[in-house]
Amino acid sequence: MSTTSVLSAEVVQQAIDQAAHFNLCAVPDPHRSDAAISGGSGGIIGIRAEQILHRLHVICRQPTTRTPITARTVVGEPVARLTQRWMAMADDAVPQMDRDPPPIPIDSSRSQRFAMLDTVCTFANGEDGFRAFGTGLTLPTPASEGPPQLLALAVGTIVEGFGRFKGKEEGTYVFCGRLSPQTGLSGNFLLRVIDTDETFRTANTLAPIAARAEAEQDVTYIVFRGQAIASDPVTPRLGADGRPRGLIVEQGLRLLDLDCIGRGRPFSSDVVGPAIGRITANVSFNPMAPGGSIRDPIPFRALDEFVFDDPETGRRVGSFTADSIEGRVFRTSVLGVSGIRFGGVGRILGGKGVFEGIRGLMTDNSVVTFTPHVSASVYVLRVQDPEGRFSARIHPERRPARSEDR
């Protein structure tokens, strides 16, 4: 009898959930004043990005018939440092982790793809961290949305861990925020790393967050979880030639509370909250495509519909759509069951009901198996929120420190 037929969905779900999450706020190192990398013609072809990663606690309230998901974002103490080179590349270029793409100048008037090279993340103790590789893209803001900004989205994977990250190369990170040729990157950095031996993940209470400042001005971050059960459908999408072109995947949505510390030994905690809705994802990729390693991930694109309910009444309160325009699939195995881990980044395209008028960016950091069909996804929304519709004044708990925090 095969391993897949023996293991229950509950057992596989428990294994998928053995992961550590580091949800962090990236801000440019204030001691770096020039991030631009110039090419031979004098134009800027890349950015030498050095960020300080701060603890980030996003506390969400479930939607109601009157309000969407609302959240309070608390930025805390420094946790890690991230250095990398963002090098612009042509839309049809194939990124490689060990060489620069053919140089092209950064053009802030249009969307461009980037390769993220020489990425190193080191936690504050100086001992734990990883080297990584990824890709990203820029998105200029429309003139109708105020002063021009160059937004940025990225997805990457751990290539080599050191310290307590040694041997933990199954880790995916996603980024959404702003990119400046002068100062670098600022925004949200979410790392999910498989942690079966619970090196980082803990059920103990973490130290209270030392709030430093609010997050980005006029921006609200929202975090929630996607979780499939075995009965949630997975429908193949076939092309006219009968070959696989992707999948239509459904899963439930739940509130999710993530927190982490990293000034001493890195630890992370996660608490899954009540059900709040469902997602239907139309995913375009070839499940039979070759590749899927850290050197040759399989690209994908997706269009997602998120539908939300009032948990008290069960009534639909609203919905929004979002896409993944830069996605990478990595093959994995969970207790011998074939699966994929992946990161996708894209735009919030519009909403209905209490989500009408929503706009911003979205990242998706997931692990999925299909037989049985179970999953664990973390969605982060970076909502443009000048009117504060999605902002909630929720104060973080003052929680006692445990042994992990010292």
In a domain, 8, yes or no: yes
Q: What is the pLDDT, as a whole number, of residue 213?
A: 64
**Would the pLDDT of 399 be above 50?**
no
Omega prior to 148 cis, within 30 of 0? no
| Residues 21, 13: Cα–Cα separation, whole Å | 16
Q: Quick check: 31 pLDDT over 90? A: no
pLDDT at 215: 65
Mean of pLDDT values over 198-205: 93
The confidence score (pLDDT) of residue 289 equals 82
* pLDDT, the chain, mean: 89
Give the percent of the chain with pLDDT over 90.
71
pLDDT, position 403: 36
> For 53-57, 58-62, 264-268, 401-405, which range has the lowest pLDDT when averaged over its residues?
401-405
Q: Would 76 be classed as within a structural domain?
A: yes
The rounded distance, in Å, linking the Cα atoms of 91 and 254 is 36
Query: 286 pLDDT exceeds 60?
Result: yes
As to burial, measured by CB atoms within 10 angstroms (0-12 exposed, 13-18 middle, 19+ buried), residue 252 is middle
Judged against a pLDDT cut of 70, whether residue 4 lies above it is answered with no
pLDDT digits (tens, 9 = 90+) for 204-255: 989 999 888 666 889 999 999 999 988 999 898 887 887 778 889 999 999 9
User: CA-based angle 194:195:196, to the nearest 5?
Assistant: 110
Domain membership flag for residue 362:
yes
Confidence of residue 38 (pLDDT cuts 50, 70, 90): confident
Whether 111 is in a domain gets the answer yes
pLDDT digits (tens, 9 = 90+) for 294-323: 989 999 999 999 999 998 888 999 999 999
Residue 403 domain-assigned? no
* pTM for the structure as a whole: 0.93
Give the range of the structural domain holding residue 181, as residue numbers without chain letter. 3-393
On whether residue 239 sits in a domain, the answer given is yes
pLDDT tens digits, 145-181: 666 789 999 999 999 999 999 999 999 999 999 988 7
Q: Which of 346, 53, 19 is nearest to 188 (CA)?
A: 53
> What's the pLDDT at 177?
96
Task: Decide which of 38 and 379 is more confident.
Answer: 379
In the chain, pLDDT over 70 holds for what percent of residues?
93
**227 is written with which tokens?**
């979780």
Report the first-to-last Cα separation within the chain, whole angstroms.
Answer: 48
Indicate the range of 185-194, 282-291, 301-310 predicted with least confidence: 282-291
Is a pLDDT exceeding 70 seen at residue 122?
Answer: yes
Residue 406: inside a domain, yes or no? Answer: no
Establish if 400 belongs to a structural domain: no
- Taking residue 376's Cβ as centre, other Cβ atoms within 10 Å add up to 25
Can you tell me the distance from the alpha carbon of 103 to that of 282, in angstroms, rounded to the nearest whole number? Answer: 34
- Mean pLDDT calculated for residue range 60-77: 93
Q: What residues contact residue 23 under an 8 Å CB cut-off, 6+ apart?
A: 56, 57, 58, 188, 189, 190, 223, 258, 259, 260, 380
How many structural domains are present in the chain?
1
